[in-house]
Structure 1
Amino acid sequence: MACNANMMHMLGVCRTARLTSSIALPLGADKIGRGFYTSLSSRVKFTRKICASLAQAKPSASGMASTQKKVLVPIGFGTEEMEAVILIDVLRRAGSDVTVASVETDLQIEASRRVKLVADRPISACTEEMFDLIVLPGGMPGSSRLRDSEILENITKRQAADGRLYGAICAAPAVALETWGLLKGLRATCHPSFIDKLSSSLTVGSRVQKDGIVTTSRGPGTAIEFALSFIEQLYGKEKAEEVAKPMVMCTRDGSEVVKHEYNPVEWSFAKTPVGGMPGAERLSNTQSLTKLLREQAESKKAYGAICASPAVVLEAHGLLKEKKATAHPAFSQKLADQSAADTRVVIDGNLITSRGPGTAMEFALAIVEKIFGQEKAISIAEAMVFPYP
């Protein structure tokens, strides 16, 4: 049930911008190019407080990282796929045993942008299990589908009564947790469109809000911080920083995105390989894809890549000749031109490249801005609660 977070970021943003995309997916910041992006470690404000019930059973430092925690991520029709997949991906990177459960009659559900998500099991098969964490992704009508699941409601209420961690993101804090009475007397946040549904005296505007065993977050643009906050609660700060490290490595050193002036070109569509290994190698070995990329470049239409693919696909096939580009730190040394290798998103003419999961949102928004303009990119970013430009 593995998934590429780069792909999910791009798919969600590009579909919001009405770019056509098609994928069947089994589940398993702050400004582009203007020198204002601070490191993820400084944005993600981890708290040091772990709930008393967990603290009493806290293992040794060596045992903490090796102890696998059980996590439940429920999904339903209209779930925000970016939030679900990022939560699953980041928590699994930390070593959690993540169960994806469908509240629908089928295991395969259609998410908010028509991506097909496949759950591990139905929610009814989870009633006897004990979870270290239950976390609800948002989206609409996904959040209401979760809210209306009596089984999920009972499981989550038991989780709260037992003093174990639970949380929600986007619309789910207001639509599900608030409706179930699981935010009483607690500070919480959610997507701005649903903030008025929370208890007004306790509503906060921060991106991620913790209060005891409950953690809430605002939307797709906060999903990585949201997931990392749970890793710290489950495993400790050291493990959270370990998982965040690849994303922190991608952070700019204060330099701006590299941009070059060029004559107007036709941006009718973009070819953009995503990263991940061995995925990038398989893309590089697909002759039909490399042929399309070459034709795209020769006709001066948009093309690009993220993570390992700039080096493994584009560089390997001569598609970065006389171009500035970036790639994941583990692959950036393969780039012939190293002048922009440490930049989060690089735009050079009709080529756009980016570094990895932690830069996927900026990458997708940069593509949208190039094709549809900055106003469209800003409107999408605002809906996703992601600072841009």
Structure 2
Amino acid sequence: MPVPVLCSAARANSEDHTGLQARLPEHNTGYATHTFYFQEEGLGTEEMEAVILVDVLRRAGADVIVASVEPELQIEGSSGTKLVADTSISACANEMFDLVALPGGMPGSARLRDCQVLRRIITKQAEDKKLYGAICAAPAVVLMSWGLMKRKKMTCHPAFMSKLPTFWAVQSNLQVSGELTTSRGPGTTFEFALSFVQQLFGDKSAADVGELLMMRLGGGRHLKKEFNKIDWSFDQTPRVRSGKEWVDLGEATIEKKSDGWSLGLRMVLVPIANGSEEMEVVMLVDILRRAKVDVVVASVEKCIQVVASQNTNIVADKSIGDASEHTYDLIILPVS
């Protein structure tokens, strides 16, 4: 059954409704397209969590509004990815949503917590017993401080579990407690997002989207088959990184130290274009940067801001022309 429209249905086709123009997915999966989902972003937000949530829900047919709690629409995620929100948080103050969800990350979660407009929006969402959720640090940092998880089982990132009340804390990847859904971090975001698809659209929709994304649902086996085996070789000496300095392996003895030497690639290029898969882009960049890899995101378009396949706005580090002045250890092409 279609999910009830809690905003005016005309809003989807109106350009003058409090400055918000609703976004409908270009490739409709056949599910209801009038469910309004609202996500907030601030500086230091976990970009993987934000982008996966938006992407999965849009594929299911939800109309997603991404709002910035910062003075500007462009924000920089915790691993340096630059995203552009659809609107400001203040433009959403009088709107109604079927779901409000908070990505985590620090200091992003703290910046969400300090936004009073957001607090009023999500408090009303909870009082009206409509769906809301948070992931990673956000359950403990935001919802706990606002008193919005009372008498509900909850989970969050392991680093913040001690902030949750012991009796209600659950060490699980996903916890659904009535209208509240919480989850642990970037690695559990697909489960988090698909849970919302299931709650909004039903089991079949969640299964269909999971299959579309090539996810392992229900404990299925990994599909593994090798074609055209390639032996990878490099024409330069591998390097290691300590702090901000790189040293050739041939010139140094590597020892395990408390501050850590880490094997890594010196520079990786990730070209992006309009229509690139935002989840693939953001996950690649985020994970490589966490491993201390120097990643350059380059736009092949005329401007450095691109609109990805599910309408996420990503700002590249530079143009492909500027990026061509350097050499790279690895170039990765996300799907477009």
Do they superpose with TM above 0.5? yes
Change in Cα spacing, 1:119 to 1:269, as seen in structure 2 (3 Å) is: closer
Out of 196, 217, 223, the position equivalent to 1:253 is 223
TM-score by length of 1: 0.54
Deviation, structure 1 residue 67 = 4.5
Deviation, structure 1 residue 78 = 1.4
Deviation, structure 1 residue 304 = 3.8
Which SS does the other structure have where 1:176 is aligned? helix
Out of 162, 187, 209, the position equivalent to 1:196 is 162
Letter in 2 for 1:231: V
- Structure 1 residue ranges without an equivalent (≥5): 1-53, 58-63, 309-389
Change in Cα spacing, 1:265 to 1:150, as seen in structure 2 (3 Å) is: same
Deviation, structure 1 residue 108 = 2.1
**Whole-Å Cα distance in 2 between the matches of residues 92 and 159 of structure 1?**
21
For the pair 1:130 / 2:105, whether they are aligned, the reply is no
**Whole-Å Cα distance in 1 between the matches of residues 270 and 88 of structure 2?**
34
**Whole-Å Cα distance in 1 between the matches of residues 85 and 320 of structure 2?**
33
Letter in 1 for 2:95: E
Pick the structure with more helix per residue: 1
Out of 175, 183, 197, the position equivalent to 2:141 is 175
Aligned counterpart, 2:125: 159
Letter in 1 for 2:267: F
Q: Deviations over 1:138-196 (max 9, x none)?
A: 11111011111111111111101111000001100000011111111111111111111
Which SS does the other structure have where 2:142 is aligned? helix
Matches within 5 A, 1:362-373: none
**Whole-Å Cα distance in 2 between the matches of residues 259 and 302 of structure 1?**
18
Aligned counterpart, 2:208: 242
Aligned counterpart, 1:223: 189
Out of 117, 141, 166, the position equivalent to 2:83 is 117
RMSD value over aligned CA atoms? Answer: 3.6
Partners of 1:216 and 1:226 within 8 A in 2: yes
Letter in 2 for 1:302: L
Change in Cα spacing, 1:124 to 1:287, as seen in structure 2 (3 Å) is: closer
Matches within 5 A, 1:1-389: 65-248=31-214, 252-255=222-225, 265-266=235-236, 267-273=265-271, 277=275, 301-307=329-335
Q: Which structure ranks higher in relative contact order (CA pairs < 8 Å, sequence separation ≥ 6)?
A: 1
**Whole-Å Cα distance in 2 between the matches of residues 287 and 196 of structure 1?**
45
Partners of 1:275 and 1:307 within 8 A in 2: no
Which SS does the other structure have where 2:213 is aligned? helix
Change in Cα spacing, 1:221 to 1:257, as seen in structure 2 (3 Å) is: farther
Change in Cα spacing, 1:106 to 1:259, as seen in structure 2 (3 Å) is: same
Q: Deviations over 1:341-385 (max 9, x none)?
A: xxxxxxxxxxxxxxxxxxxxxxxxxxxxxxxxxxxxxxxxxxxxx
TM-score by length of 2: 0.62
Partners of 2:75 and 2:83 within 8 A in 1: yes
**Whole-Å Cα distance in 2 between the matches of residues 287 and 153 of structure 1?**
41
Letter in 1 for 2:223: D
Change in Cα spacing, 1:272 to 1:232, as seen in structure 2 (3 Å) is: same
Partners of 2:32 and 2:62 within 8 A in 1: no
Identity %: 47
Aligned counterpart, 1:340: none
Q: How many residues align?
A: 242
Which SS does the other structure have where 1:109 is aligned? strand
Which SS does the other structure have where 2:39 is aligned? strand
**Whole-Å Cα distance in 2 between the matches of residues 148 and 197 of structure 1?**
18
- Structure 2 residue ranges without an equivalent (≥5): 7-29, 237-264, 282-298, 302-318
**Whole-Å Cα distance in 2 between the matches of residues 128 and 283 of structure 1?**
39
Deviation, structure 1 residue 117 = 2.3
**Whole-Å Cα distance in 1 between the matches of residues 38 and 231 of structure 2?**
49
Q: Deviations over 1:253-287 (max 9, x none)?
A: 2558997655564354334456985789x969x99
Letter in 1 for 2:132: Y
